[in-house]
Amino acid sequence: RAKDHGRNTYRFFEAEMTERAIQRLHHETALRGALTRGELSLLYQPQVDLSTGRIQGAEALLRWTHPELGAVSPFEFIPIAEEIGLISEFGKWVLEQACLQLLAWDAEGFRVHRLAVNISVQQAERIDLVDEIREILQRAGVAPERFELEVTESMLMRNVDRVIANLSALRDLGITIAVDDFGSGFSSLGYLKTLPISRLKIDKTFVDGVTIDDNDDAIARAIIALGKALGLEVIAEGVETPEQAAFLEHEGCNEAQGYLFGRPMKPDALRQLSLERG
Ligand code: C2E
Ligand code: MG
Ligand code: MG
Ligand code: MG
Query: How many angstroms separate the CA atoms of 114 and 60, rounded?
Result: 11
Dist. CA 224 → ligand 3 center (Å): 16
Q: Which residue out of 44, 84, 118, 201 has the highest number of ligand 1 atoms within 8 Å of its CB and is therefore the one to mutate? A: 118
CB 85 within 8 A of CB 35: no
The average pLDDT across 81-89 equals 95
**pLDDT tens for residues 227-237?**
999 999 999 99
**Closest C-alpha residue for ligand 1 atom 30:** 74
Query: How many angstroms separate the CA atoms of 245 and 255, rounded?
Result: 9
Quick check: 10 pLDDT over 60?
Answer: yes
**pLDDT for 50:** 97
CB 201 within 8 A of CB 236: yes
Quick check: 4 pLDDT over 70?
Answer: no
Start-to-end Cα distance in the chain: 70
Running DSSP on this structure, what letter comes out for residue 145?
Answer: G
pLDDT confidence bin for 186, thresholds 50/70/90: low
CB 87 within 8 A of CB 123: yes
**Closest C-alpha residue for ligand 1 atom 20:** 238
Running DSSP on this structure, what letter comes out for residue 146?
Answer: G
pLDDT confidence bin for 160, thresholds 50/70/90: confident
SS3 content of the chain, % helix, strand, coil (to 5): 55, 20, 25
**pLDDT for 2:** 52
**H and E: helices and strands count for the chain:** 12, 9
- Atom number of ligand 1 nearest to Cα 180: 3
Looking at every residue in the chain, the average pLDDT score rounds to: 92
Pocket lining for ligand 1, CB < 6 angstroms: 45, 61-62, 73-75, 78, 91, 94, 118-120, 150, 180-181, 237-240, 257-259, 264
**pLDDT tens for residues 51-75?**
999 999 999 999 999 999 999 999 9
- Atom number of ligand 1 nearest to Cα 152: 34
Q: What are phi and psi of 24, to 5 degrees?
A: -60, -40
**pLDDT for 171:** 96
Quick check: 221 pLDDT over 60?
Answer: yes
Query: How many angstroms separate the CA atoms of 102 and 225, rounded?
Result: 33
Orientation angle between helical segments 87-107 and 129-140, nearest 10 degrees: 20
- Atom number of ligand 1 nearest to Cα 257: 15
The average pLDDT across 36-62 equals 97
| ipTM (interface pTM) | 0.97
**Closest C-alpha residue for ligand 1 atom 42:** 118
- Atom number of ligand 1 nearest to Cα 78: 45
Q: State how beta strands 199-202 and 176-182 pair.
A: parallel
**pLDDT tens for residues 101-143?**
999 999 999 999 999 999 999 999 999 999 999 999 999 999 9
Quick check: 1 pLDDT over 90?
Answer: no
The amino acid sitting at 19 is E
**pLDDT for 43:** 98
